[in-house]
Amino acid sequence: MFSSQQFFSDALLARLTETRVNDPDFAWRAAQARIRHERLAPSGKLNLLAADHPARNVTKVGSDPLAMADRRDYLARILRVLSSEGVDGIMATMDILEDLLSIDGFLRGAGAPVLLDGRVLIASLNRGGLAGSSWELDDPVTGATPATCQAWRLDGAKLLLRVDEREPASLKTLLACAQAINQSNVLGLPMFLEPLPVTKTDKGYVVVKTAEALARLAGVASALGDSSRYLWLKLPYCEGYETVARSTTLPILLLGGESAGDPSPFLRQLGSAMAAGPNVRGALVGRNVLYPGDEDPLAMALAAGGIVHEGWSVETALQSMAANRGRDMDRLARWL
């Protein structure tokens, strides 16, 4: 069982708040000092972590309704994953990115190996469509803007596009996404777009995970904005993923959705998706990596990275976990 308190101390959490109070520009300076990749995906593939859920009022994991609301535990799991060489970077909201940049600044100041040099940092832009709200599908940009990403020397931006053809608010979100894509294109900023067909049930909006629905919306998403040259798609797994892959020439990253509480199902989906077409180029996953049941998030991240970057079989990925479980749990404590 991963112990977040062992990996990320309460003292480090207190230091983050103290820095926010006494030196609010510290994270900004750390962002300017960060060494960036010359290319977004040097190998042509990406294994990225998603950590933007709490900003959309999503905090539930399994039976715990507030799992992702515990910021120390959430940051501990994120940093645990980022200490893996198999992870290329992270997509998150600015508050999360600022905390990570500050910790990287603490490490740099201590002469320690940093975590974010050479990593892909992506800001999540639209978080206004709060889960469970009456306006949930009316989702304008309420987070960072493409200009913010450029100023902070980030490597990309991300948009969520949920479409219910019976819901007029989806058109507003389509227009907001198109505008943000246009702004990103002017800056040469990669955009990661997550188009999800949804339908409303008595439990709220649910994703329609069929090859037909995903392929149709992928075609819509690929044509948004004044150019698709910097556009990547983030799409969920479904049966018949070959149909989804054939619906676009844009690169596709697999999303994970709710945590299965067990590494095996997602890793099997990832292996199957990677074989579905040459444009399936990796994963952009949150809860299934951060909360893999009783497994260590580091071991899960390395297993996914092996499938994406090394072409491992699912069985090889699962077998790798034993060797990486509990490794370097004092990575932060040695320096901070």
Q: pLDDT tens digit string along 117-138? A: 999 999 999 999 999 999 999 9
**Strand-pair partners of 64:** 61
pTM of the model: 0.97
Rounded distance between C-alpha atoms, residue 336 and residue 331, angstroms: 9
The answer for 244, left when phi > 0, alpha when psi is -120 to 50, beta otherwise, is: alpha
The C-alpha angle with vertex 46 and arms to 41 and 50, in degrees rounded to 5, equals 125
Question: What pLDDT was estimated at residue 51?
Answer: 98
**Contacts from 67-71 at CB under 8 Å and sequence distance 24+?**
67/291, 68/287, 71/13
Res 259: pLDDT: 83
Q: Which residues have C-beta within 8 Å of that of residue 161, sequence separation ≥ 6?
A: 139, 173, 174, 177, 193, 194, 195, 196, 221, 224
Give the 3-state secondary structure of residue 118: coil
CA separation for the pair 140, 142 (Å, rounded): 6
Record the tokens describing residue 27, joined without a space.
């994270």
Query: Which two tokens mark 63?
Result: 């039976």
Token output for 231: 């556009």
Instruction: Tell me which residues of the chain have a pLDDT lower than 50.
Output: none
Q: Per CATH, which fold does 4-324 belong to?
A: TIM Barrel (3.20.20)
Instruction: Provide the pLDDT for residue 260.
Output: 80
Q: Residue 336: what pLDDT? A: 93
Identify the bridge partners of residue 48 per DSSP, sorted by sequence position. Answer: 89, 284
pLDDT of residue 261: 85
